[in-house]
Each structure stands twice: as structure tokens, then as C-alpha cells.
Amino acid sequence: MTDILMPKATAVWLVDNTSLTFEQIADFCGLHHLEVKGIADGEVARDIRGADPIANGQLSREELDAAQANPNYRMKAQKSRHAELLKPAKKAPRYTPVSRRQDRPDAIAWFLRNHPEVTDAQISKILGTTKATIEQVRGRTHWNAANIKPVDPVTLGLVGQLDLDALVRKAAEKKAKDDAKRGIVDGPSLRPAAETVAEEPEIEDDEDHRHGGRRAEPTIDSVFGSSSPAHDDDDED
């Protein structure tokens, strides 16, 4: 069954203007039959104005007549002529002015140097280029390889800053998820504290080591210097 527009409004109209059963209306509108019963009792959708499915091209008069003649008949909705207008517009391919197309290799080189996590498919889509051109820039086989230099695509006017930031963030998140699946962690991992403490060398005090592991008590001689008795006698003479 094709999804119809305004299912409750359509159900309101069918309840008020036809002799269809609750099950037939519920099947056509994609609702529960108790909900359709609630509409008929005035408990549901009281403020909704009915929408004629025949007038808006979702139901033919022949289908309605057949359903009213046979309670077991299930109506088939037609494709509404308004459905195409409600579809979201498909985003057109990115157009790059001719004057800017010569700058795309520089933008490609910028991506390859600064954001290797961005895939070739993403570069191709945002710059409007081809994977073959990206490979030529990467392998330096491009016809103008000698003059290619990495330049920010925003500066070149090829990409908006918001679009670029969104692309880089999306690529970084995807790379982080892929690395996590493979068990890769960026940067050196921290070692357990117990290991680092156990490996720290013990610093021995040289003074303690010379005195058998115990610091010697200071003496008068060690503080003020030793005085020889012989020298004292000479001074007296």
C-alpha cells in the first residue's frame, strides 16, 4: 500500500462521507481500527478537518465504490500527484567554476598532507573531482605536479568552512572507531604505577654508606677542626 498524505484527515473524511467499515478505512489510512472507531465516536481527531482522497488524487472513485459494495475489499491507493512536491530535493552535484578548477589539485594536496584520515571518496565529493585525479596528485604523476602546492580549500573558495569542519570531524570519528576495533590507541600507553615505583632505583646516602649504614654523630673536631696538643705547648713557650 502506498503511504497516503494526511492519514487522519483522510480517515475523518471517509468516516463522514462513506459507508466503509472501520477495518477498511484503517487499512487504507495505515491506522488502527480502534483509532478509526475513536474518530467515528468523536474521541479522536475532533479538530482535524477531513481531506478528500479522491480530490487530491490518492483514491479513485472506482476503488471507493468497489470497497463500499464489498466489506472485505481493501482499497488500493494511487500515487498522489502532490507526493513528488513533498519529496526532499536531491542535492545537485557540486559545481566548480572553470576559473577555480585549476585550484583543485592544490586543495587535494592540502587534504593529503593535513588530513590523511579523509578518504578519497570524501575528497572527491566535497571538491567535485575524481579519484583518478587524487591518485595522480598523491603519486605526483599529475601533469602539473611541479606547480602543485597544498592550499586550504576554504581559501581557494572551493569549500565552505562549515562543510570542511563537518567533513574533517566525521572522518576523524570514523578513524577513531576503526582504530578502536583494531585495538589501536593513539600515543604511548601509561604504565601501571606499581611498575614505575618498583623500577625506581634506591638512592643511598654516601655518608650513611661510609659509616656502616648509620649517620655518624657530629663531634667538636668535625665542627671546629682538630687542635694538636703539641702546637699548644709551642705557643706557651
Question: Tell me: the pLDDT tens digits for 184-232?
Answer: 555 444 454 444 444 444 545 555 445 455 555 666 666 565 554 444 4
Closest C-alpha to 25, from 33, 17, 80: 33
The proportion of the chain whose per-residue pLDDT surpasses 90, expressed as a percent, equals 28
Give CA–CA dist 184/191, Å, rounded: 16
Give CA–CA dist 129/108, Å, rounded: 9
One-letter amino acid identity for 131? K
pLDDT tens per residue across span 143-161: 888 889 999 998 888 888 9
Average pLDDT of the segment spanning 98-105: 72
Whether 118 and 97 have beta carbons less than 8 Å apart is answered as: no
Q: What is the pLDDT of residue 237?
A: 44
Cell numbers at 20, concatenated: 466503509
pTM: 0.40
Whether 121 and 127 have beta carbons less than 8 Å apart is answered as: no
